[in-house]
Amino acid sequence: MPDDSSRGDFPKGELAKRDARPRSGARYRAAVAGRVVLAIFGSYAVAALATALLSLILPMVRSEAVATATLLSFAILAGAVIWVFAARTLAQAALGLGLPIALLAGGLWLALSVLTPGAPA
């Protein structure tokens, strides 16, 4: 660890480091705003699509599938948010959400057209 000397306390260590670098500027602010927007809407989209899809395709009675999917959805949501802020760049973060969104949406479209929703599983 490069900054073990800071003894693991983030405000002291990280803040000191952060204060050393200027972090104002329109560019930085836009990047932060972009991640916040992506975290709110992108992560929700991933979680919502995953819930919708899993509710249809999980191999259990549909009430069980819905309960399982909804229980999991908030973990998926939290994971997606963490990803958005952990990714190196905004583009990488967007790609990391966009790909699953596209896959999930495709899967959902397929599931909706193959299965007849509403019929007891």
Torsion sign over Cα 92, 72, 77, 115: positive
Is 94 a binder of another protein (CB under 8 A)? Answer: no
Half-sphere exposure of residue 1: CA atoms within 13 angstroms, side-chain side: 7
Is 64 a binder of another protein (CB under 8 A)? Answer: yes
Residues found near another protein in the complex (CB under 8 A): 1, 7-12, 14-15, 17-18, 23, 28, 31-32, 35, 47-49, 51-56, 60-71, 73-75, 77-78, 81-82, 85-86, 88, 108, 111-112, 117-118, 120-121
